Each structure stands twice: as structure tokens, then as C-alpha cells.
Amino acid sequence: MTTPTAITAPMAASVISIDVEAGAVIKPGQQVAVLEAMKMHHVIEADVGGTVASIAVKVDDVVNENDILLVIDNADKGDAIQRSAAAIDIAAGRADLDEVIARHNVTLDTARPDATARRRKIGSRTARENIDDLCDPDSFIEYGALAIAAQRRRRSLDDLMARTPADGMIAGFGTVNAAEFGEHAARCAVLAYDYTVLAGTQGHNNHKKKDRLFELAQEWQSPVVFFTEGGGGRPGDVDTDDLIMSWLDLKTFATWPQLNGVAPRIAVNSGRCFAGNAVIFGCADITIATKNSNIGLAGPAMIEGGGLGKYTPEDIGPIDVQTTNGVVDVACEDELDATAVTRQILGFFQGTTQNWSAGDQRLLRHLVPENRMRIYDIRAVITALADVDSVIELRPDYGSGLVTALVRVEGHPFGLIANDPSRLGGAIDGDGGEKGGRFLQLCEAYGLPVISLCDCPGFMVGPESEKTAAVRRGSRLIVATANLSVPLFTIIVRKGYGLGAQAMAGGSFHQPFFTIAWPTAEMGPMGLEGAVELGFSKELAAAANEDERNTLYEQLLARMYEKGKAVSVATAFEIDAVIDPAETRKWLVRGKRSAGPRTREARRFVDVW
């Protein structure tokens, strides 16, 4: 039995077309009308087949929901043919998609062989090659790939797409070290100026991209890696001339510094980095640069424009200058090396690794000479103590009396400070105090426990030292250690004298989670030799002759040493233990586990310099 079937409007709409005539025989799923609602076209299809008995509307009519559009006769609902989805040719092209693919393709290195060749000529990689090397495979998603320079008033669209892809800066999110630390820990924002596009300058649209990425990194507390090569601000973006006057209201140099303390930010530079690019570099938590880097707050044109002389780019901030003055934390051979170091440094803030090995710890028993006057290599001690190939020293050529490094012990990440007895006898000078204080702020901000290897005769003294503001700059170290909320583990390797030793221990030997000593350690309120010369000056002066004076001096010194050696100090419980150096790693790992996660908020303090 057949019954008439009404085809009704699914919503209130206007009739755009009627696609069948009365008396026509139609099939299930056939298009019978098109309605328009809210500027969208809705195709109306018949649920059943049959003969069109009548049409109730005409073009331009306005219908309400459930109004009848047409009636189909001779339709048997019980035997209605179920319409199946039409076959789709998934290989078929589309004009809109083809345009998108074409626009993306012109941004790739393969579409710009001349640009890639210029990079090869100077021994450098492209920006995309650096990102591909840093990020885990197939993990990077790019923001703003289709952006172009704001120069439509002076150049054609085709030219801008071909020659200013991504407006000279590639930006997005990916993962780094996900296989080792998991995807959540591995997430990372990555930005890279493209020197092949307008010399890596900062344009209108790439500033917008930076702000977008920085705001997302702030919201999601994501680490950031920024490849900073480039020439600073770009004067040629004329499209905004009628809207922008000074451009000093742009947010980049607020959003980037505001990420300080949110998550680690690493700046990586190769080649020339001037003006705004250099400020991006300088604001980072950790700075890495290749040996061909030139980094400066102005390039040659700006320097000459300021009436300060003519210079080549290579004259400005070369790597030897920027490592000696502490601007660069880690100097690398090339971009390949720098990217590998970046991955390793990120790992320290991503968690504990299960893949580690260590050397024979009995070596630590012999690296500090029994002769208390003999210097030794503190870096050999650090290398032996830490996991194999885990040590990354920061700013080795600045404040060289104090070593600052990232290390692992049984896979656990630590920050490490250590006095170098080969430089100023291990005394803390202004540079060292400044360097150490800033490094400890880094550890504090991102939750790294701190190892302190103390071999310190005190703060550096004397008229020449005071000219360097050592009173303030050196004090940065003691303020930083005293205010740590992360665990501090102090190990007296040899000398632990005076305020300098206290600075290596948070201001007091009872401030760290533990303070332990090796058998070679000796402690006191000041150096033993000075204590004898000052405390017993009258007795020494009263000696009958030089031989008698020397004999008395050695006797007094031996008495002082006996009182100040580690096992004697431990009897008064001024330190927590004297240990076999070979047990140091066990103490550190057990100490970290015992201290547990950070249980109190980091204390705010006013930096003294």
C-alpha cells in the first residue's frame, strides 16, 4: 500500500530553488530544493522515491519549520530505499585546497634553493633545519606560516609570498626529548628568525607571532627555545605607516620578559644578532651561541648613525668578548652542536632520566691532593662525581673562580656550584659572586636542587678587589644561597673558611639540607695561616731568630689544623658528617629523596646588586 509523503522544511528559511517538477519521478536521496537560512544554503533531499504529486512553494517564498515543500505520491514508506553515502573520490583535487598547499609550499626550503645555498656558503643551516633538528620528528605545529611582510604598498603579493615567507620568523610548538621524559614534560614553544628573509629582522607580523606564542607559553607554562639570528627592527614595513608612529607600544618586550620564572627560556644564536634580536637573546634564562656569533645592542648602521664610528658586523660583540663578559652561557662550534646542547639543557628541566652511567667513584678519593697547599682540577672532580657526559658548565670564562654547571647524579638533575682553587685560591670575587647568585636564582626558579662543592678561603679582599664593587656583587651569592627553597647540599672538599665558605652553604653550615666534608676538609673562621699570623703576632715577633720563629709558626699552624680538620669539627656537630668521597653520590641521591619535592614557596628577596 502506498501513501503520500510530505517533504517539509527543517527550519525557517527562504526558498532558493525548486529542483523538481510536478509529475516527475524521483529517487531516494535526490535533491528537490535548496533553502537559505542565515546566509547558509541547505540542500533538501527526498527521503523516499516516487512521483511528485504537488509543489507547495515557489522561489523566494519564506517558510517556517515543518512547512510542506512538496508531496511525493506512490511512495511506500515500509519499503523505502535507504540512501547510502555517495562515493567520494578522495584523490580528487579542489581549488581551495590547492591554493593552500601552494602557499605553504613556497615557505619550504625546497622552494627557495637560492636562500639555502646562501646559508651553505657561510656554513650555516636554515631556520627550518634548526627547528627540525631540535624537535622530535613530526611534533612541530607552525603558527603563522602564511604571514608575509607588511609591505603590500611597495611589493606585489606574489613577491612577498616568495621572498618574505612567514614574515621572516618561524614559530610554533613541538616536543623535545619526549621519548625520554614523556610528552607533557617535553612540550616546548620554538621560534626562529629566518636570516634569509630580510636579514632576520623584526617585522610587524612576526612581532604579532611572537606575542601570540609568548602569551600561549605563559598560559600553558611552556619552555621556549628561540633562535635569535637577525638584524633587529625592520624599517621597511610601510603598510602600517598611517597607523603606527613610534611603535614603542608593541608588546613583545613586555611579553617575553614576563615569561621570566614561568618556564625555562633558552636563546640560541649563530651569526649576527643585533638590536631587538640581541635583547631577545639577552633576556633569556640560558644563552647559547656559536663561535661565528656577533651579538650587540646595535649593528653597524645604528652605531654609525649615532656618530660613534664605522664598524663591520664582525667588530661588534664577537664570541670571545661575549663569553669573557658572561653574556653567553655556553659557546658551541656550530648550529648542530648548539642544537644538541639545547636539547641536553632542556632535559635538566624536564625530569630524571633512567639512562645513566657513572665512573668508579673511588677516583674521588685521590683527586684532591694530600698536600693541603697543592692545587687540583675541580672540573675533574665534578666530572668524576656526575653521571658520564652529563656536565654542562655555564659561563666558564666569566667569574672563573666559581664554577656553575648543570649535572646529573643517577639521572637526577642538579645545579652545581664549586670553588676553583686554581683561580684566586677559590676565593669569591665580585664576578664570581654575581655569577653564582644569578645561577642559583635559575635553579630556584625552576626547581633544581643545588650541590655546593666548597673549597673556599673566603671572599676576595684588597683595594683592587674593592674597586670592583665586591662588597655588593660578592654578597649576591650569600643572599641567593640563604633564600633557596630547593634543597642545598654542601660538601666541604678542602677549605671552608670564613664568610666565603658560609656563602657556599646558605650563610651557615646548618642551613643546607646537609653539610658534609671529605677527609681533606679543613674549616675555620679564617684561613689557618692568617689566623696564626694575626692571632699570635706578638709571640712570633718575640722569637729569638728566624729559625725559632718558623718552628713556632709551624707548631701553631699544626695546632690550628688539628682543631680545624673535618673530623675535629664534626665532633662539635658543626657539620653533619665526614664521609668517604666515594660515597658522595649516594649521599646526594638519598638526600634528594629525603628532602622530597619543594614544600615551601620561593622567598622573594631584593637583589643586592
The mean pLDDT of the chain is 91
Q: Per-residue DSSP letters for 451-477?
A: EEEEEE--B--SHHHHTTTHHHHTHHH
d(CA 573, CA 379): 29
Boundaries of every domain in the chain: 3-78, 96-348, 361-521+565-595
**In the chain, how long is the greatest CA-to-CA distance?**
139
The predicted-structure confidence for 5-22, as pLDDT tens digits, reads as follows 999 999 999 999 999 999
d(CA 373, CA 252): 53
Lowest mean pLDDT among 55-69, 149-163, 427-441, 486-500: 149-163
Find the mean pLDDT for residues 298-306: 89
State residue 81's pLDDT score.
Answer: 46
Q: Indicate if the pLDDT at residue 532 is higher than 70.
A: no
d(CA 279, CA 288): 14
- Answer yes or no: same fold for 3-78 and 96-348: no
CATH number of 361-521+565-595: 3.90.226.10
CATH number of 96-348: 3.90.226.10
Half-sphere exposure of 590 (CA within 13 A, CB side): 6
Phi then psi for 449, rounded to 5 degrees?
A: -65, 155
Instruction: Yes or no: say if 265 and 213 are a contact pair by the CB < 8 Å rule.
Output: no
The whole-angstrom distance between residue 184's C-alpha and the CA centroid of its chain comes to 15
Find the mean pLDDT for residues 279-299: 96
Topology of domain 3-78, per CATH? OB fold (Dihydrolipoamide Acetyltransferase, E2P) (2.40.50)
**Residue 516 DSSP class:** E
The predicted-structure confidence for 71-108, as pLDDT tens digits, reads as follows 999 765 544 444 444 567 888 889 999 999 999 999 99
* Position 234 confidence tier, pLDDT thresholds 50, 70, 90: confident
The whole-angstrom distance between residue 289's C-alpha and the CA centroid of its chain comes to 14
State residue 247's pLDDT score.
Answer: 65
C-alpha cell of 118? 646562501
d(CA 551, CA 538): 15
Find the mean pLDDT for residues 413-427: 95
Q: Indicate if the pLDDT at residue 452 is higher than 70.
A: yes
Which pTM was predicted?
A: 0.88
The predicted-structure confidence for 317-357, as pLDDT tens digits, reads as follows 999 999 999 999 999 999 999 999 999 999 999 999 999 99
pLDDT more than 70, % of the chain: 95
Find the mean pLDDT for residues 215-222: 96
Q: What angle do CA 227, 230, 236 make, to 5 degrees?
A: 135
Q: Tell me the one-letter amino acid at 323.
A: T
Q: Tell me the one-letter amino acid at 469.
A: A
Say how many C-beta atoms besides its own lie within 10 A of residue 36's C-beta.
Answer: 14
